[in-house]
Chain A
Amino acid sequence: DTGVSQNPRHKITKRGQNVTFRCDPISEHNRLYWYRQTLGQGPEFLTYFQNEAQLEKSRLLSDRFSAERPKGSFSTLEIQRTEQGDSAMYLCASRGGEETTDTQYFGPGTRLTVL
């Protein structure tokens, strides 16, 4: 257990529905990342928060995706009008602000299946 939690762990939804995932990072970490991982591949970066500010978004993050971190603590990732291609593991990671370490601590992930 890295100290990063994600809920739900599994989500099955029908195409066209909206889904929301939550990530609770390690409490003292001000940096939070979302990644997506498909079967047999490494994680791919989606978006990055420093405190409550969303500072970077990948081209993978289409306009159906939105992420927030309203108080600089937990974060949510919402996917609207889900498509079958959105089926993947969604991973959250957090990191402290020290420049001397680059280690990211990952949560267990939310596995999304879109039927």
Chain B
Amino acid sequence: SQQGEEDPQALSIQEGENATMNCSYKTSINNLQWYRQNSGRGLVHLILIRSNEREKHSGRLRVTLDTSKKSSSLLITASRAADTASYFCASRSGSARQLTFGSGTQLTVLP
């Protein structure tokens, strides 16, 4: 079963604009990760934020985590056409060994 939901399900923006995706989860987590998936391909890890962190940056990516609201957001600044992909949040809870993924946001960046 999916750990949580992502919002929006689909997002279309112009190149150069910022894209914000949100993720909500259900149970307490050890960390939360974001992955990108190009159409028909495997997932690529983007960034990991631990449960005791509130914000993290990596290049054009900014992730926030609010454990009180059980939510996270991924901001991609100055988007490019190459950012077009599906973005998934994933979390690991307690002693679970596997990641539990959200349902994903399909981002389309128009040139």
B107 to chain A, nearest CB (A): 14
- A109 interface residue per 8 A CB criterion: yes
- A30 interface residue per 8 A CB criterion: no
Contact residues of A between 13 and 29, Cβ < 8 Å to B: none
On chain B, the residues within 8 Å of A45 by CB distance are 98-100
0/1 per residue, A89-111, Cβ < 8 Å to B?
10101000000011111111101
Q: How many A-B residue pairs have CB under 8 A?
A: 68
Interface size on B, residues (CB 8 A): 24
A42-B88, A104-B45, A105-B45 as given contacts; A48 in contact with B98, CB under 8 Å: yes
On chain B, the residues within 8 Å of A4 by CB distance are 42
Q: Which of B30, B48, B90 contacts A42 (CB 8 A)?
A: B90
Interface size on A, residues (CB 8 A): 30
Q: Do the beta carbons of A91 and B98 come within 8 Å of each other?
A: no
0/1 per residue, B31-46, Cβ < 8 Å to A?
1010100001111110
Q: Which of A42, A103, A108 contacts B41 (CB 8 A)?
A: A108
CA distance A55 to B97 in the complex (A): 9
- B2 interface residue per 8 A CB criterion: yes
Q: Do the beta carbons of A108 and B42 come within 8 Å of each other?
A: yes
Q: Do the beta carbons of B33 and A33 come within 8 Å of each other?
A: no
On chain A, the residues within 8 Å of B41 by CB distance are 108-109
Q: Do the beta carbons of A2 and B44 come within 8 Å of each other?
A: yes
Q: Do the beta carbons of A102 and B30 come within 8 Å of each other?
A: yes
CA distance A103 to B35 in the complex (A): 10
Q: Do the beta carbons of B97 and A106 come within 8 Å of each other?
A: no
A45-B99, A56-B98 as given contacts; A102 in contact with B104, CB under 8 Å: no
Q: Which of B33, B44, B97, B104 contacts A48 (CB 8 A)?
A: B97
Q: Do the beta carbons of B88 and A102 come within 8 Å of each other?
A: no
Nearest A residue to B100 by beta-carbon distance? A45
0/1 per residue, A57-96, Cβ < 8 Å to B?
0100000000000000000000000000000010101000
Q: Which 6 pairs between the two chains have the least Cβ-Cβ distance?
A: A42-B101, A45-B98, A106-B42, A106-B43, A108-B42, A103-B45
